[in-house]
Amino acid sequence: VMLAGIDTLWHCSSFTSPWGTQQAFDLANVRATRRLGEWSVAWGVRNFVHISSPSLYFDYHHHRDIQEDFRPHRFANEFARSKAASEEVINLLAQANPHTRFTILRPQSLFGPHDKVFIPRLAQMMQHYGSVLLPRGGSALVDMT
């Protein structure tokens, strides 16, 4: 009954810590994604939007015009690896369940009224430096932090 009547489910939650065990990241970012996707299919949710991360591209090298399916030889951390694995889960669910539209988005960050990370960090930068510091003096095309 939890998802009855839901047209679109936005899956935005994830474990985003810079530290943690593989098990912790897999539980929060892979298994939870699989379970929500399966429940969405079972309850007839038409659209499932999975929020992933551009961190899965990061490998300490500069890239330009890479393909969407690019993956580094080694992920920078467990978070990036688990987000790539969660996308694999979504792709398998999409192939097996054509009546549910699965979409993957990779925003750099999400924030809202109760954000305790993104906006406070920007505010701290503004207070300390008088402006927001831009990677490579503002010439970076994308910051993959």
What's the Cα-to-Cα distance from 137 to each of 59, 64, 77, 144, rounded to whole Å? 21, 18, 26, 15
Q: How is the chain split into domains, by residue range?
A: 8-107, 113-145
Please give the model's pTM, rounded to 2 decimal places. 0.83
pLDDT averaged over every residue in the chain = 90
Tell me the per-residue pLDDT of 92-135, one tens digit each, with 9 for 90 and over: 999 999 999 999 999 988 888 888 877 888 888 889 988 877 77
Class of domain 8-107: alpha beta
State residue 136 phi and psi, 5-degree precision.
55, 40
pLDDT digits (tens, 9 = 90+) for 3-21: 788 999 999 999 988 789 9
What's the CA gap between 110 and 93, in Å, rounded?
24
**Of 44 and 118, the one with more pLDDT:** 44
Q: How far apart are CA 23 and CA 78, in angstroms?
A: 9
CB-CB contact of 12 with 51 (8 Å): yes
